[in-house]
Amino acid sequence: MKTKITLIIALFFGLSLGFAQNEQECGTKLSLMAEAAKAGSFDSAYEPYKWLRENCPKYNLAIYQYGEKILENFIETKADKKTYIIELTELWNDRAQYFPSKTKVGDVMVDACLLKYDNKDVLGLNSQQLYDCFDNAYKTDKENFKSTKGLYVYFKLMVDLYDAGQKTDQELFDKYDDVVEKIEDEVEYNSIQLNKYLAKEEAGKALSARDAKYKKYHGQMIDAFDKVTAGVDKELGDRANCSNLIPLYTKNFEANKDNSVWLQRALNKMFQKECTDDPLFIKIVDRKYELSPDADTAYYLYLKTGEQKYLDQAISLQTDPFKKSKLVYKIALGLKKKGSFGQARQYFTEALKLNPSNKNPHMHIAEMYAKSANNCGTDSFNKRAVFWLAAQEANKAGNSSAASRYNALAPTKSEIFNKDMAGKTINIGCWIGRSVSVPKL
């Protein structure tokens, strides 16, 4: 009995010593890899990195962080790119497996898809294989599919497959809606975050260095997603024109007349592509309003009937500030298009209050001022003074180039001097109803 106990104790200490020695070696290798990688000696870092991957893959997240840098360098500098591309995608997969709480699965999956896309010729991948990669990432972890480039490429590949006859009209339009809705979610999140910092500044509170950093970041993300939206719309192009949409939605209406999501997406697409005069648009509006009335449907009913009660209902039904800002902005755009500039400015101003991070209303107000310059003044000088107002709005939008163009159309310094108007205030008439100060010389 004593012999058995002695053997068990010896075995326990032997295993403990083995684990301690192995952990110590893992730590040594990690240190060697990190120091070499920090110094840019990626060839020297590769050997301990490989050892760590094989012998203690769960030891430390730094194995994957430094490993990524090493392999990215090799992809750029080594002749055998394919080997290291494959190794990097395997590294990301293992990181998600061994460190799930510290890894956003969708994020690394999209990174892997983009790596494959950027090196599709080296890897011999076709559009379908690449699309499937992005589609899998989207379906696996949509929440963390946040890459602007990833969303654009995802839709571009769908367009490529559609043009090749491998995807249907409905599949194309559905994927467009998926991607645009995801972009809108990201814009909403970043807008809400940015508005918190804007509110602090509006209240006269100074931002900390950290807050200023995040304010800049969220603003940049909004701009980036806006560019992706423009890119996605450009890719869709005329593939979603009224000639394509109306027959498709007519054919599919009966099968989807109880599907609120399908009805809303059809309405949105027909509105976007200016197919609202077709009887089908009215038919879908009526069905959607009957099935599940909401702010968007009430607005479309307003377009159909011109009745103010539906516009009021649209605004009252929408209680979310960000979504209401989008609705009010849409109303303003419609009024601007009709030439109702005074009403349009009212709604653009309301959109700014609801979502200060969206600077686009300022540019639309600037454009309306500029278009009205010839109609809102008693003489040439006063009419052209309107361009100073337009420039002010363009500056609020952060568009310095537009502001410069408008300022160039305003009275010159010599005209200001000859008229003896420097520093004076001009009241602008008509719908504008604003005053502007003439620059001092």
Alpha-helical (H) ranges within 39-126 are 42-55, 62-77, 81-98, 105-118, 120-123
By three-state DSSP, how is residue 435 classified? Answer: strand
DSSP H or E segment with residue 436: strand 435-437
In angstroms, how far is the first alpha carbon of the chain from the final one? 106
* CB contact burial 19-33 (16+ within 10 A = b; e otherwise): eeeeeeebeebbebb
- Res 1: pLDDT: 53
By three-state DSSP, how is residue 347 classified? Answer: helix
- Res 22: pLDDT: 81
Q: Where are the domains of the chain?
A: 124-233, 241-317, 359-441
Low-confidence ranges of the chain (pLDDT < 70): 1-21
Sign of CA dihedral 250, 256, 259, 261: negative
Predicted TM-score (pTM) of the model is 0.85
By three-state DSSP, how is residue 425 classified? Answer: strand
Residues 6+ apart with CB under 8 A from 390: 366, 367, 369, 370, 373, 406
- Res 415: pLDDT: 94
The Cα–Cα gap between 407 and 422 comes to 15
- Res 396: pLDDT: 95
